Amino acid sequence: MKFYMLLILLFVSLNVYSQDIDSLVIRNIYSEALTSFTSYENLRELCKNIGGRLTGSKQANDAAKWYFEKLKEMKVDNAYMQDVMVRNWVRGEKEIAYSNSKSGRFEFNVCALGISVGTGDKGITGKVIEVKTYDELKSLGRENVEGKIVFFNRAADQRGYSTGYGYGSSVGQRVNGAVEGARYGAIGVVVRSATVAYDNFPHTGVMRYNDSLAKIPAIGISTKDADRLSELIKEDSDILFYFRTTCMQNPDVPSFNVIGEIKGSEKPEEIIVIGGHLDSWDLGEGAHDDGTGMIQSMEVLRLFQSLGIKPKHTIRCVAFIDEEIDQKGGRKYAEVVKNKNEKHIAAIETDGGGFTPHGFSFDVNDNQFDKLKTFQIFFEPYWMHLFVKGGSGVDIGFLKETGAATIGLIVDSQRYFDYHHSANDVFENVNRREMQLGSASIAALVYLIDKYGL
């Protein structure tokens, strides 16, 4: 009996000791992240020396080379680029839009939506009709829509705590507005920006066409200008709207995913991957979306190196190309994983901006979730309270069928859509500490998964 008690005591104390060690390692990870300026200065270089990185652009490929060089400078065990063919859509000249009505002529802040066709040099003019839903459009019918410009003006729902809710409530008209307009014979569409912000900045983002319908040009309009256009339409239903875009599609071009890794000491063939996306939209600098994510991913490796943590599994960071348009990078990465029969035990994505982290969203089975919940206690000192089941990320989503546990970093979303896909997504709007809390949180989770498995 006594011996048995002793064993239990020994086990309990070893367990406590191990917890103390883990708490200490994690404390060191956060301390190192919060006192280091490396990531922040890397983000400055990326944003200020390269800037926006539209898929298929020279800037995107410059960023890939820059990321590769950074990984080599860090002397990671292995750094390489993975070839990916991508779309090459170019924005062209600054977009122009104005209205003519009884009230006179007004100009609007607009931008072409991603992959839209252009209007041609002369632009297009038409009567403009406002709708908030496809049902409204349907009830107007072809007789009222043909030859006109459709203005989709459904505002983002502000009621959700997460601003992703508001984005989700309005982004559909950006993605499918041109298809629905073309269905009824419209010559172009103007779409209220998918954002909870109220300002003069238009937000771009990807849209889609349907090959069996006419491809008509689409622009985004700032939320304030959307309200103004709506007022002008109410004053004068014969209002004419003009816009000009010179965006166009060139043939596909070669581009890259960029990968860095620290080899595992015990199970190098088993991989834990951390990723963000290398491409961005072109109106801003792609700072929050997703410069912070690609740099946080690299930073996890740097934190392991600088604290001398030797992982048992291989820890890999990936900067994925083409998240914003066709996700060719994420698809290619997963295809190579399958072809090489690589084993990914977990994949973590950070693509919600470099804001204060609040936890993780786990796309995992019940057993994995139970195990992950036992890690939660280590994150309490850092106010990372959310350990929830949910979605992970677009790029790593393709890894799910390989059996990888996929995980997303949850961050404070209140300011994300102020910047997202607009000219405001710049370095100045990133806070060094907030971004580094994200890097540290991911590194801490990777440390625990590496040590205890999944």
Binding residues for Zn ion (CB under 5 A): 289-290, 351
Any bridge partners for residue 256, and if so which?
Answer: 83
**Smallest distance from Zn ion to CB 180, Å:** 25
Angle at 59 between CA 57 and CA 63, to 5 degrees: 125
Rg (CA), the chain: 24
How crowded is residue 414: how many other Cβ atoms within 10 Å of its Cβ? 13
Nearer to Zn ion, 32 or 289 (CB): 289
Tell me the pairing of strands 124-131 and 110-112: unpaired
Across the chain, which distance is largest between two alpha carbons, in Å?
95
Neighbouring-strand partners of residue 124: 243
Between residues 180 and 351, which has the closer beta carbon with respect to Zn ion?
A: 351
Which is closer to Zn ion, CB of 225 or CB of 395?
A: 395
The least distance separating Zn ion from the CB of residue 279, rounded to whole angstroms, comes to 9
Which C-beta is closer to Zn ion: that of 180 or that of 290? 290
The bridge status of strand 313-320 relative to strand 267-277 is parallel
SS3 358: strand
The CA-atom distances, in angstroms, between 426 and each of 145, 214, 270, 374 are 39, 35, 36, 37
Indicate the residue among 22 and 395 with the shorter CB distance to Zn ion: 395
Q: Which is nearer to Zn ion, 22 or 323 (CB)?
A: 323
Closest CB 323 distance from Zn ion, rounded Å: 6
Q: Which residues contact 369 (CB under 8 A, 6 or more apart)?
A: 362, 389
Closest distance of CB 171 from Zn ion, Å: 13
**Least Å from the CB of residue 284 to Zn ion:** 12
In angstroms, give the least distance from the CB of 291 to Zn ion: 10
With CA atoms as reference, report the closest residue to 419 among 205, 273, 212, 265: 205
Q: DSSP for 85-116?
A: EEEEEE--SPPEEEEEETTEEEE--EEEPBTP
Nearest distance from C-beta of residue 324 to Zn ion, angstroms: 7
User: Least distance in Å: CB of 362 to Zn ion?
Assistant: 20
For residue 89, give the amino acid letter. W
**244/288 with CB nearer Zn ion:** 288
Residue 293: C-alpha distances to residues 119, 192, 350, 354 (Å): 35, 27, 5, 7
3's tokens: 């011996």
CB nearer to Zn ion: pick between 261 and 351: 351
Q: Which residue number, 351 or 363, has a Cβ lying nearer to Zn ion?
A: 351
DSSP letter at 207?
-
Closest distance of CB 276 from Zn ion, Å: 8
**Pairwise CA distance, residues 3 & 9, whole Å:** 10
Amino acid at 327: Q
